[in-house]
Every structure is written in structure tokens, then in C-alpha cells.
Amino acid sequence: MTAMAELLASGGSMEMVKAAFDNGADAVYVGAKGWSRRRAEYEMDDARIAEAAGYARSVGGILRVAFNTLPSSFEVPLFLAKTDGLYEAGVRDFILTDPGLMMALKNRHPDTVLHASVGCTIINVQDALFYREAGASQVVAECRMDKATMRRIKEEAGVGLEVLVHATTCYTLLGRCTMSSYTRYEHRLDAEGKDHFPGSPNRGGLCYRICLSDWDRVGARGEVEESGFVLPNTAYFRADDIPDLLDLGVDTIKIQGREYSVPLVGEMVRFYRDLIDACLRDRAGFRMEPWKDRMARIVAGRDAERREKTAGLISESLADADTPKTH
Ligand code: SF4
């Protein structure tokens, strides 16, 4: 039986939040400044988050706020103060990675709704059960999760399941990857007292997509055996899988991409809204074929923007790696 699924989109700015809702998103996620897995320009300060939450309420949607980095003990009071403030402003939905923070926030505000982030690297039923125990009512499937595992989580874990479409599979498991931190290993405290390790998306920094740069394969004696080696890391576009995901009872279909342009995000959201609605209207008669041309145009637009961002991130990171550090 085919079930309804929430369509979740990215909100890298107030303009993007509005475009996502106006094009049919049921929910939008934004990153709390300094606390999510993106550059600060795609995150929002507390006042902007409150404004975005107000817009979400006005259109009957949900605003979800990501605090999906791993804090040190001294950052926890800051996390609690910030989430208290957002709770006062009417925010109830949060995306977290750290199970300790999940428990702390749930104890403090039992009516909050917590989702376990893609950064949790949930790859099996036991992981899902663990994060349910910590207070999450929904978990994000790791990008490589197969449908059989999704089915088992739906049947056995008693939590909602979220699946990313329009994502890139990582060379490693996303939440466990430390590659970027080898090129950006300094750290700083911001004005609020939050710790930032620029090369670690798990610690307030970024993934610089280092796995997508050219590598040398080095032999046992240090000799270069192959230059310009490319690691397998393919973008996947799971539009073809959407009917199956709906049949599986997936609760949320997520389009990521806070760094994309607002028109592209609006176009992606409209595409998925139309596709999901058409599939739900007539599951037996639904065919992907008529959607392929529109999908191809969106993939081309998305790949062009992504390639440009990736090239910028890699060159920024490698330039920094060449700069001597003072610690
Ligand atoms: S460096 Fe590559 S494998 Fe690591 S998190 Fe980034 S995209 Fe994923």
C-alpha cells in the first residue's frame, strides 16, 4: 500500500525557505549558525530561524532546525540556551547528531520532535533502535542504505525513516568521514563561545569534498604508482525509486542542497511535489517515462551548480593545506 510521505527541502536563506514552501515542500530544514554541517552563509541566526518558523506556521508547514554537530562538554550550555530560545520562539522540530544532546533536549522539552541526522550514519536496525532510545522519533538513512534495510527499519525499529534524494554517495560513510580535517586542522572559538574545526563537518566545519579531488596511489616504498586517481563517489538521483520509497512507507523524502541557487531549489521541490502527488493519485498507473525529460533538465542544472561549488571547495582546502600553520 502506498503511503503519504513528507517532502522535506533545504533552507539556506529566508528566500529559499519561502521558495521551498511556495513550491510544495511540507517541511524545510535550516541550520543553526555554527551548529550545522554547512558554511555559515548557508546557516541562519536565531532571529532569522524564528522568522522562518513563523513563515512555516503561516503556510501550515514545519520548520526543522539542524544542530547536527558533535559538541564538547563546554559547548552544551550554549546549545541548551540556544534551543531554549528557539523553543520560546515556537520551534519544536530539531535535527541532532549527538545522542547525549538528544536526551538532554528531550528531558528539558518533552514535546520537541527530534530527528537523528544523516551525520549519525544509521546503517542498520540496531542503529535506528539506539537513536529511538535516545529520543529520536525519526532517523535519516545513510546514503548507501538498500531498500531491504529500509524495510526492516520500518518494520522493526518503531521510528520514522527519512531518505535523501538528489544526494551524493560518499566515498566513506558520511558521518564517519575525517578526510577534510587533514587539510584544515586549525580551530577557533566564535564570539558566542562555540568551538569550530573548519575541516570537520562534525565539529562546526565543512566537508571540502576532498574525496572528489585527484589522488595519487602510493606503493609500499612511497613511490607513486598512479596519478590523478579518482575515488568512486557518484552522485545519485533517486527519482526512479520514489514509487518504491512510497510503497515502503518512507516517512520523509529529503532534497538536500542549501548551497544551491534559490531558483534551482524551487524547481527541484516543484518537480518532486508533482511527481509524488502523481504517484499517490494513481500508483497502479504511474510510469516514470513521462517525467524523464524534466528530470534530466534538473539533473543538468544541479550538476552544473554542484561542480562549480565542489571545485571551489577543493581549491580552497588545498590552498589552505599548503599554508604553514602556527599552533
Ligand atoms: S570528503 Fe567525500 S566521503 Fe568525506 S564526507 Fe565529504 S563527500 Fe563524503
CA atoms within 13 A on the CB side of 155: 8
How much is the mean pLDDT over the chain?
90
pLDDT tier for residue 326 given thresholds of 50, 70 and 90: very low
Q: pLDDT of 55-88, one tens digit each?
A: 999 999 999 999 999 999 999 999 999 999 999 9
Residue 53: CB within 6 Å of ligand 1? no
What DSSP character marks residue 297?
A: H
* CA distance linking residue 11 with residue 317, whole number of Å: 25
* CA distance linking residue 119 with residue 35, whole number of Å: 12
The pLDDT value recorded for residue 306 is: 79
Question: Which domains are assigned to the chain?
Answer: 6-322 (3.20.20.70)
Q: pLDDT of 160-200, one tens digit each?
A: 999 998 777 788 888 888 888 888 778 889 888 888 888 88
Residue 174: CB within 6 Å of ligand 1? yes
* CA distance linking residue 179 with residue 199, whole number of Å: 8
The pLDDT value recorded for residue 320 is: 62
Query: Atom of ligand 1 at shortest distance to CA of 174?
Result: 5
The pLDDT value recorded for residue 16 is: 97
Query: Atom of ligand 1 at shortest distance to CA of 201?
Result: 5
Residue 171: CB within 6 Å of ligand 1? yes
Tell me: pLDDT of 327 over 80.
no
The pTM for the full model equals 0.92
Residue 317: CB within 6 Å of ligand 1? no
